[in-house]
Amino acid sequence: MAEPLLSVRDLVVEFPTRRGTLRAIDRISFDIREGEVLGMVGESGAGKSITGNAIIGLIEPPGRIAGGEILLKGTRIDDLPPEKMRRIRGRRIGMVFQDPLTSLNPLYTVAEQIIETIRTHLGVSEREARERAVALLDRVGIPAARRRIDDYPHHFSGGMRQRVVIALALCAEPELVIADEPTTALDVSVQAQIIDVLKEICAERGAAVMLITHDMGVIAETADRVAVLYAGRMAEIGPVRDVVQDAEHPYTRGLMGSIPTLTHAHDRLTQIPGAMPRLDNIPQGCAFNPRCPEAFDRCRVERPDPIGRGGGRRVACWLYDRAGVKEAGNG
């Protein structure tokens, strides 16, 4: 099998505080292959955005990558000096942030920002860079792109700004695009358009996508595989159809049960009791055990590592360990 485009191995991200060190990401591992869309889902605070920021080297100090490794086509990138990482960020890895206003400088026109990025990474003339920028804005659905390219970010609506951000992320033809909640503040119809544009252009260019979201509906429609995070740990990962139709981890089942469907009438949607633990109060054993309806003694004292389930699935749950099933059966 071909080498993964991106390989994350036992990643640990920590934030030192006065009260001690908080572990925001706790030994998560996953791969993304060329041309693949990997969805990453979980509640707010699960660690999705921090994972994306760790990959592109944007963890805010004093936060740090405290363990594990990140490899891009087999080459480790998590320990690179800032200058070398800046050359990878934008050129080989593009980023679509949740709020386009944090990605776009309000003092510069869209043309200035995209053209500068193209010339920095691709080394083409200003004229060629401008033509590439116009073509890309047109491709992401900006009407009258040749005229509007000289507008400032505030001249665009929220949905149009997000299209500009996608164009900015793709303008240097990266191998991997990390999209962090790219549709959160947009209307449902605009959300679908944005996701379609991102997926189509990446497919045309053979780029992989890591799509970070809390919306399982978006994941189900867009991703090839899905990774479910809980309290900075990997709960479940596998092909999206398998996970959506037959979730195995109790947390994933809770997420899926909270989505309304047109095929079944429900008096009440499934609700996961309680809330995700704070980073300074992660419970012993499985982090989900206080909220889990199927927890048993082993879950409360011993942390489960992801267990292979066949077909590319891994589930971090003692229900799928032979000793765990036996113990659960004994009550």
Q: How far apart are CA 177 and CA 148, in angstroms?
A: 25
Question: Could you give the dihedral angle defined by the CA atoms of residues 144, 150, 154 and 158, in that order, rounded to the nearest 10 degrees?
Answer: 40
pLDDT at 223 > cutoff 90:
yes
Q: What is the pLDDT of residue 187?
A: 80
Query: Between residues 284 and 268, which one has the greater pLDDT?
Result: 284
Q: How far apart are CA 328 and CA 326, in angstroms?
A: 5
Percent of the chain with pLDDT over 90: 73
φ and ψ at residue 268, rounded to 5 degrees: -150, 135
Q: How far is CA 60 from CA 88, 242, 260, in A?
A: 18, 36, 37
- Within 10 A of 265 (CB to CB), how many other CB atoms are there? 7
Q: Which residues neighbour 269 within 8 Å (Cβ) at sequence distance 6 or greater?
A: 257, 258, 259, 260
Asked if 231 and 47 touch (Cβ cutoff 8 Å), the reply is yes
Question: Could you give the dihedral angle defined by the CA atoms of residues 216, 221, 223 and 228, in that order, rounded to the nearest 10 degrees?
Answer: 10
pLDDT at 283 > cutoff 80:
yes
- Amino acid of residue 258: S
Can you name the residues that pair with 208 across neighbouring β-strands?
176
What average pLDDT does the segment 8-15 reach?
Answer: 97
All structural domains of the chain: 6-92+174-274 (3.40.50.300)
Q: How far apart are CA 284 and CA 273, in angstroms?
A: 18
Asked if 74 and 3 touch (Cβ cutoff 8 Å), the reply is yes
Q: Which residues neighbour 4 within 8 Å (Cβ) at sequence distance 6 or greater?
A: 31, 32, 33, 71
Give tens-digit pLDDT for 234-273: 999 999 999 999 999 999 998 887 666 656 655 666 778 8
What average pLDDT does the segment 144-165 reach?
Answer: 94
